[in-house]
Amino acid sequence: MPEFFADAEAAFDDARFVIWGYPFDGTACFRKGTADGPEAIRFHSHNFESWLNELGLDLRDIPAHDWGDVEAVADQAANNSAIEEIVGRIGAAGKFPVGLGGEHSLTPPAVAALKRQFPELGVVILDAHLDYRDGYQGAKWSHAATTRRVSEIVGPERVRSLGIRSLSREELHTAREDGLHYVETGWTELREHLSDLVEAIDGPLYLSLDMDAIDPAFAPGVGTPEPFGMTPYEVLQVLNFLSDRLVGFDCVETCPPADNGNTAALAARLVRHTIGAVAKAQPRDGAD
């Protein structure tokens, strides 16, 4: 059992947020090592104060539970079933699931589980790559097909990808045919794009953060680094802007062997901010 995520010491029944991990990199096509991501993110989460000064709250006041890791095997269909089971259980209990990757192939089954609870679910993906292939290297559920699989679950009209700067010509043509909307990096006004997103997709949202959305100058320890990316502050803007609509979140593609821990530390801090931002934007029982 890996070390629990910092300040996630509540029992499952008492928790509002439930953290779970997916230590799998079976379809990684450039760097292996993202299977070590959940444990590294948990480790680095203990580096930070529980007080989130930018939000004015203390994570010790927000009950969270670390469920542990899905038992990942080579068979992705079995992995998908395991992910759907735990995320479905978390959602059915009225709690907020927080997934730690591991590779991005964790997102489609997590979305499928929440789609049963929220029929009008929308999905926002922060990623350097469009990931709209219909499978890759013989794997239908490859991390390189994540957005395609998610679009099949909720419909391409209810998916928005931000931070895109890498895609194949074939993906470009298919995405255009399917009506998939995506935003490249290099925007001049992020909030304008986010306003358009919220206006276009109503209802609850699931947010998936692939750490390679962030420029490798800030997050070099990812499975497939791509230059010219987002800054950590831009990611915070997205988290804050969408926090009142979020019903689930994952942070994927941290590859600890590829750097000295900086990327896992950033991932841990972004996960902590997400928990705080959602709790603040969606208060319960009169809490701020």
Distance CA 265, CA 268 (A): 5
Q: Is residue 278 within 8 Å of 95, Cβ to Cβ?
A: no
Q: Is residue 115 within 8 Å of 109, Cβ to Cβ?
A: no
Distance CA 149, CA 170 (A): 16
Query: What's the token pair of residue 94?
Result: 């009225």
The dihedral of CA 177, 28, 42, 73: what is its sign? positive
Res 271: pLDDT: 98
For residue 18, pLDDT over 70 is answered with yes
For residue 200, pLDDT over 60 is answered with yes
Cα dihedral: 143, 147, 148, 150 (round 10): 100
- Which domains does the chain possess? 12-281 (3.40.800.10)
Task: Quick: pLDDT tens for 90-131.
Answer: 999 999 999 999 999 999 999 999 999 999 999 999 999 999
Mapped to the 3 state alphabet, what secondary structure does 65-98 carry?
A: EEEEECCCCCCHHHHHHHHHHHHHHHHHCCCEEE
Task: Quick: pLDDT tens for 41-100.
Answer: 999 999 999 999 999 999 999 999 999 999 999 999 999 999 999 999 999 999 999 999
Strand pairing report for 51-52 and 57-58: antiparallel
Distance of CA 245 to the CA centre of its chain: 15
Query: What's the token pair of residue 250?
Result: 């994952």
Distance CA 230, CA 269 (A): 16
User: Of 92-106, 173-187, 222-236, where does mean pLDDT reach its minimum?
Assistant: 173-187
Give the pLDDT band of residue 157 (cuts 50, 70, 90). very high
Distance CA 137, CA 253 (A): 18
Q: Which residues, 6+ apart, have CB-to-CB distance to 78 below 8 Å?
A: none
Distance CA 96, CA 32 (A): 29
Q: What is the mean pLDDT of the chain?
A: 93
Distance CA 154, CA 282 (A): 24
Q: If we measure between CA atoms, which residue out of 175, 257, 167, 242 comes closest to residue 209?
A: 242
The whole-model pTM stands at 0.94
Q: Which residues, 6+ apart, have CB-to-CB distance to 274 below 8 Å?
A: 98, 207, 239, 243, 246, 249, 251
Res 138: pLDDT: 64
The residues with which 122 forms a beta bridge, in sequence order, are 205
Res 1: pLDDT: 43
